[in-house]
Amino acid sequence: MPDTKKFIENLSGAGKCIGVLTSGGDAQGMNAAVRAVVRMGIYVGAKVYFIHEGYQGMVDGGDNIKEASWESVSSMLQVGGTVIGSARCKDFRTHEGRLRAALNLVQRGITNLCVIGGDGSLTGANLFREEWSGLLDELVQSGEISEEASQIYSALHIVGMVGSIDNDFCGTDMTIADWVLIPEMPPKDGWEEQMCYKLSESRMRGSRLNIIIVAEGATDRHGNPISSNAVKELVVRCLGFDTRVTVLGHVQRGGTPSAFDRILASRMGVEAVLALLEASPGTPACVVSLCGNQAVRVPLMECVQMTQEVQKAMDEKRFEEAVRLRGSSFNVAVLNVGAPAAGMNAAVRSAVRVGITEGHTMFAVSDGFEGFYKGQIKEIKWGDVGGWTGQGGSLLGTKRTLPAKHIDKIAEQMRIHNINALLVIGGFEAYLGLMELQAARSKHAELCVPMVMVPATVSNNIPGSDLSIGADTALNAITDTCDRIKQSASGTKRRVFIIETMGGYCGYLATVGGLAAGADAAYIYEEPFDIRELQSNVEHLTEKMKTSIQRGLVLRNENCSENYTTDFIYQLYNEEGKGVFDCRKNVLGHMQQGGAPSPFDRNFGTKIAAKAMQWISKKLKEFYREGRVFANTEDSACLLGMRRRALVFQPVVQLKDETDFVHRIPKEQWWLRLRPLMKILAKYKTSYDVSDSGQLEHIVRLRAKDVSAI
């Protein structure tokens, strides 16, 4: 089989000039994207220019367009908003303004633009590209540039990155309550009475708090605006509930970017540079984005046109189409297994409520398989999971006990409670437990029911899934702690911090946390290292400390090496760095498991658990025969995981060959491809495989594939 790998060394940026700008409103993660573009651009030999204040800076020129250096993007990874400025520009909407912008770019040799912004910003970029040759002709005729310059800079390449808090741009899945009112899906007539009924019903079940979210621009089906104050007056008038209005406003734009935003922005920044390097005169302007966990490139104007179709559908009151352009009674038991992970409760809540909606009776099992064989099983109702989404840990209780030694008692409890299906939410013990339950089916007919596992572990070490519930919250904890630790050394002499992370033998937290926090090195089990590499890292950091940076960051996975412990690495760096920097060490420990779940984990847990319950409903109907459920096929015991861009159900027996059972990790792990990226952004020379980079896909075909996959 031919080697299809393609490496960054084969893509030269020598002689190319890249301009990077942020336009429109601020969005968290913009700085991380700018940093990645600058450092990857410099790494491949290109010149990179900051274009300050968006299109206004491009039109005005002068000091607004400055060459960027490696050091100029240091310490900006954790800063919210955009440090190069973002302004809306009326001048760029005129032909004269775009003519001045073209002149300013040509004078600096910039023919590659990376535009980070929303719908309007990217539409303007495409118009600029379409007019480019005509603009150069005008500049030649006016004598402002030579004919030779017009030929040299004849093609303008543009790559867009969606930087918007609205998440309203088609072609990308992600950008950097009790009742929700949004523009895309106005409520049906009579929504006022229905909402008040639901709120009243919630209070009768014992709830003392209700949250109603009103999006800016929300309307009813006749186009009448729905404001937060109007909703408040409705609730007070009809129900007499004490009601408060909180307008979040610009607080939504501020703050430190999350680990997810930083990683997304860094990956997309690098992808943007790769797209510019590979562009030819005939390559259309594209948007780089993330679909599931897969980088993709989609033609910019197809994204813009689709976004405009969404707005048109809303204007014409075709609300269901707008949302599409933007997705018998059985007893079902749900349990948590393994260590706690933030987002488990959101997943349980989603499973319970979707199950009840589909007509099932839901049972909660306390304390995992241990509680199962002890009979700690009770019915769980709609109101019992109220307020669970934002709570960390596991409210059901969770233990690492495996079922094999207690199979007889578990089967007995299945029979007593007439359990027809199982949803197991947890980590590696849940994975092993599901295999043990399936293996025992030949002896216990009670276990011949549909079973599905949803991965939930901070270690993100489950075969068959790129992501696990809880890992994002752990990454945020690591990133936030690293930010605070580095900040503690501001104003002091040069200092290096050695940080130990959790994860067992899986280096996901150390690697991706290091990428999000701007680490200089991350030591993991999957990538063996020796004393020579440690010495090389110390020397590299020493040279950087002498010339620029004041603080260094090194992460170490807890089980990366039996001999090169955190203490050993700390002592080595401390000794070898004498006279240049001193060292501090921190072991983060269980703080990585605690805390409220991140928005990503809440949403991911909610979505994946709902998907699992829909699968259970389908399988129950499929395997219901002659008054009973009997499921004994391989595909009736599955793991639901995120594979690249889709949620996929995979029989657990088929995942055995993908598993390193000794070290409790998958044999192949997608995030290992990010390690060279971390090194490049830390100024190392390394080999970077770009064969898995995004390919240009038309948006109609992309969306069709997504729908069928999910």
Helix axes 531-547, 566-576, angle to 10 degrees: 50
**Among 487, 498, 542, which residue's Cα sits nearest to residue 521?**
498
**Which sign, positive or negative, has the C-alpha torsion 265, 271, 274, 276?**
negative
pLDDT mean across residues, the chain = 85
**Among 320, 396, 340, 327, which residue's Cα sits nearest to residue 363?**
396
Residue type, 621: K
What predicted TM-score, i.e. pTM, was given to this entire model? 0.74
Determine which of 179-193, 512-526, 566-580 has the lowest per-residue pLDDT on average.
Answer: 179-193
Interval 587-609 mean pLDDT: 89
> How many CB atoms neighbour CB 204 within 10 A?
9
> 171 pLDDT exceeds 80?
no
Domains parsed from the chain with CATH numbers: 17-162 (3.40.50.450), 179-239 (3.40.50.460), 259-326 (no CATH), 331-469+597-660 (3.40.50.450), 473-593 (3.40.50.460)
State the pLDDT at residue 710: 33
Determine which of 280-289, 320-329, 576-585 has the lowest per-residue pLDDT on average.
Answer: 320-329
Residue type, 597: P
Interval 244-262 mean pLDDT: 67
How do residues 482-511 score in pLDDT, each as one tens digit? 988 888 777 667 889 999 999 999 999 999
205 and 353 Cβ atoms separated by less than 8 Å:
no
pLDDT band at 386 (very low <50, low <70, confident <90, very high): confident
Which runs of E-coded beta strand occur in 470-542?
495-501, 521-523
Strand partners, 149: none
* Residue 601 annotated among the catalytic residues of the structure: no
C-alpha to C-alpha distance for 341 and 544, rounded to whole angstroms: 37
pLDDT band at 325 (very low <50, low <70, confident <90, very high): very low
Q: How many CA atoms within 13 Å lie on the side-chain side of 81? A: 10
* Neighbour-count burial for 62-100, b at 16+ CB within 10 Å, e otherwise: eebbeebebebbbbbbbbbbbbbbbebbeebeeeebbbb
C-alpha to C-alpha distance for 165 and 26, rounded to whole angstroms: 8
> 173 pLDDT exceeds 50?
no
Interval 594-609 mean pLDDT: 90
Six-digit token string for 195: 């909402």
State the pLDDT at residue 246: 76
Tell me which of 166, 168, 220, 635 is the catalytic residue.
Answer: 166
pLDDT band at 168 (very low <50, low <70, confident <90, very high): very low
Any idea which residue has 């990538």 for tokens? 527
